Amino acid sequence: MRRRAPVFALVLLVASCLTTPLASQAVEADPPPRVALITPEALAPLLDSVSVLDVRAAWSSYLQNHLPNAAWLSIETLRAQNGELPFQLLEPGAYASLFRRVGVDPRRMVVVYSAGDQLDIDATFAAWLLSAMGVPRVRVLDGGYARWELEGRPLTQRYPRRPVPPGMSGRGFRPAVASLEQVQAASRGNGVLLVDARPPEQFAGSAGAQMRRGHIPGAVNHPWKDDLEKRDLALVWKSVADLRASYAAQGITPDKDIILYCNSGTEASHVWFALHALLGYPKVRIYTGSWTQWAEREELPVEK
Both 90 and 185 in one domain: the answer is no
What does the DSSP assignment read for 163-178? Answer: PPPPP---TT----B-
Q: How many other β-carbons are positioned within 10 Å of the β-carbon of residue 7?
A: 8
Q: Output the pLDDT for position 301.
A: 97
219 shares a domain with 142: no
pLDDT, position 237: 98
Predicted local distance difference test score (pLDDT) of residue 32: 62
The answer to whether residues 206 and 282 belong to one domain is yes
Q: Indicate the number of domains in the chain.
A: 2
| Residue 4 within a domain | no
What pLDDT does 150 receive? Answer: 97
The per-residue pLDDT for 43 is 99
Q: What is the mean pLDDT of each run of 10 residues along the chain (304 residues)?
A: 40 35 37 87 97 96 97 93 81 93 93 89 96 95 97 96 78 92 98 98 91 95 97 95 99 98 96 98 97 94 96
If asked whether residues 43 and 132 sit together in one domain, one would say yes
Do 39 and 145 have their domain in common?
yes
Q: DSSP E strands: which ranges in the chain?
A: 35-38, 51-54, 70-72, 79-82, 85-89, 110-113, 138-141, 193-196, 220-221, 228-231, 234-237, 258-261, 284-286
- Asked, for residue 226, whether it belongs to a domain, the answer is yes
The pLDDT of residue 15 is 36
The CATH number of the domain holding residue 236 is: 3.40.250.10
Task: Look at residue 160 and tell me if it is in a domain.
Answer: no
Do 185 and 88 share a structural domain? no
| Same domain (yes/no): 145, 186 | no
Q: Which of 101, 130, 150 is the last residue of a domain?
A: 150
Do 45 and 96 sit in the same domain of this protein?
yes
**In-domain check, residue 84:** yes
Does residue 202 fall inside a structural domain? yes
Same domain? 212 vs 135: no
Domain match, 202 and 247 both: yes
pLDDT number for residue 274: 98
Is 6 within a domain?
no
**Beta carbons within 8 Å of 88's beta carbon, 6+ residues apart:** 79, 80, 81, 82, 288, 289
pLDDT of residue 211: 79
Q: Do 114 and 123 meet the contact criterion of CB atoms below 8 Å apart?
A: yes
* The dihedral formed by the CA atoms of 280, 281, 282 and 288, expressed in degrees to the nearest 10: -120
Residue 72 lies in a domain: yes
Whether 24 is in a domain gets the answer no
Contact (Cβ atoms closer than 8 angstroms) between residue 197 and residue 260: yes
Same domain, 232 and 133: no
Catalytic residues: 262
Same domain, 117 and 201: no
Q: 270 lies in which domain range?
A: 180-296
Separation between Cα atoms, residue 168 and residue 136, nearest integer Å: 12
Look up the pTM and report it. Answer: 0.88
